[in-house]
Structure 1
Amino acid sequence: MNYRHLLVALLVVTPLAHATSFDCHKASTLVEKRICSSPLLGKLDDALADDYRGMLATDLGDGPDNKSLNKEQRAWIAQRNKCATEKCLVDLYRKRVDDVCDAPVVRGVHAACVQSSDVL
């Protein structure tokens, strides 16, 4: 087996961190690639995506599509994409995971949420 085949074989069997909010095989930005290569960031991304979907399914009292939650998420993604280090990303993800679930629910049951401290 030559080095080229070995490299291809390593790339095929090297697992990427799982990220729920986007396809790691299509990661194009440095931030997305960093999330996909870090098991912790992959878990935090999963937790945020799950919490966000859960909260979107609740009644937050600002319209059928939870406009404020969507607006906050877009602003957070823009901030996340400015991170240059893994520590910056971890800190932002931990805060956002908890912030998403802090929104008060107007009617119905509050979504079950993962807290950032549960993600190791």
Structure 2
Amino acid sequence: MAIINLVGVALIGLIVWWFWLYKPTQVKAGGDEPITIVVENGVYLPAQIQLPAGKAITLRFLRKDESPCAEVVQFPGLELAKSLAVDKSTTVEIPPLEAGEYDFHCQMQMYRGKLVVG
């Protein structure tokens, strides 16, 4: 019985870490080079991208995760969505944006990322 309780507590700790304590990797966009985002193991890598206001950027999503949840990336604040093929790069053109934060995620919001525009 104690083992079951320990496993339960460990799972609760993992869930708390995953949804509230996990800090995503971050990259700063500076040049005109596309930024590659790898979709793998339930996350976007990098998951947070800093970019200057008023400058268009190209994101290149490389989906390695075969999970159906990873099939689409959505940018709700931009009214933009793209299907992602497994083991292929998919280009997403982000128009020049005003300063602020713009979330992107899968259709179930399990994979999450953010564009930080400043």
TM-score, scaled to structure 1: 0.31
TM-score, scaled to structure 2: 0.31
Write 1 or 2 for the structure with the bigger share of helix.
Answer: 1
